[in-house]
Amino acid sequence: MTHSRPTIHELLERGGLAPRRDLGQNFVADPNTVRRIAALADVGPGDHVVEIGAGLGSLTLALADTGADVLAVEVDRGIVPVLRDVVADRSNVRVVEADAMTADWPALLAGSDRWTLVANLPYNVATPLVCDLLDEVPAVASMLVMVQREVAERFAAAPGSKQYGAVSVKAAYWGTARVAATVPASVFVPRPNVESALVRIDRREPPDVEPDALFALVKQAFGQRRKMLRRSLAGTVAAEQFDAAGIDPQARPETLGVDDWVRLARAVGG
């Protein structure tokens, strides 16, 4: 059984709680939506799922129903007791009070070397959190996260598109990304002012190049995305290095795919 809109309001009232704007809390109040997310996550018995921002447990219950082992992470200490009560009869759910932005992820995920992240992420931390997990937490092998639709499109964007940017390159370096579904604002309490979408990122073996050096180039170039690479990367990439990488120095950063960036980083790194 997952939460309906009346249940969300009842749980908030019972706990003397209200959605916190500072934490970007928008609770999913539609059973069909959370069941759809759980199905798209493609998890089941034997799988380990970490949910960030579990809130009142709407998605947590749907994930538990798949038979997977669920680690529900929640930062709001006011909501944690309510969440624990909601999942009290689910032996496959463990609730941890922690801030995902500062958590000791190796310790939290010590129970398995392979995890699937499934989460309704607060809009204000979604991009840095996903990027940090890609960079620093290899145990998260797959992600299915609900974020602002524009953010989802940026993670999954292809070279040459309007949405393509530095986060697109990062996602493509670490894995494959795609927009799995859109989610209407009407399913949330409170209702957000923007559309949401689910983006799925499946980790892969990354190209053989130093990621810090690669992402430093990408960040510098996209910091001046309207300029040609020879200008935005002046002082960092020499003409002969562009030649060695087979990159047109008059190109703009949004035209380069991850393989192009890898070649350029290798040329610069010698």
Report the chain's mean pLDDT, rounded to a whole number: 96
242-267 pLDDT, tens digit per residue, is: 999 999 999 999 999 999 999 999 99
Candidates 107, 149, 134, 123; CA nearest to 23 is 123
Candidates 224, 22, 198, 236; CA nearest to 118 is 198
Q: Once rounded to an integer, what is the mean pLDDT over residues 185-209?
A: 96
Is the pLDDT assigned to residue 209 strictly greater than 80? yes
123-172 pLDDT, tens digit per residue, is: 989 999 999 999 999 999 999 999 999 999 999 999 999 999 999 999 99
- Per-domain residue ranges of the chain: 5-203, 211-269
Sheet of 48-52: strands edge to edge?
93-97, 69-74, 48-52, 115-120, 140-148, 196-203, 175-183
Contacting residues for 62 by C-beta, under 8 A, at least 6 apart: 2, 31, 34, 35, 37, 38
66-114 pLDDT, tens digit per residue, is: 999 999 999 999 999 999 999 999 999 999 999 999 999 999 999 899 9
> Within a 10 A sphere around the Cβ of 22, how many other Cβ atoms?
8
Tell me the torsion sign for CA atoms 93, 94, 100, 106.
negative
Q: Once rounded to an integer, what is the mean pLDDT over residues 184-203?
A: 95
Q: Once rounded to an integer, what is the mean pLDDT over residues 167-184?
A: 98
Instruction: Give the model's confidence band at 1: pLDDT under 50 very low, under 70 low, under 90 confident, else very high.
Output: low
| Whether residue 31 has a cis bond before it, omega within 30° of 0 | no
d(CA 32, CA 200): 19
Candidates 49, 38, 28; CA nearest to 121 is 28
Candidates 132, 155, 157, 159; CA nearest to 144 is 155
pLDDT (0 to 100) of residue 114: 98
Is the pLDDT assigned to residue 270 strictly greater than 70? no
Contacting residues for 240 by C-beta, under 8 A, at least 6 apart: none
| 211-269 CATH | 1.10.8.100
Would you state the CATH architecture of domain 5-203? 3-Layer(aba) Sandwich (3.40)
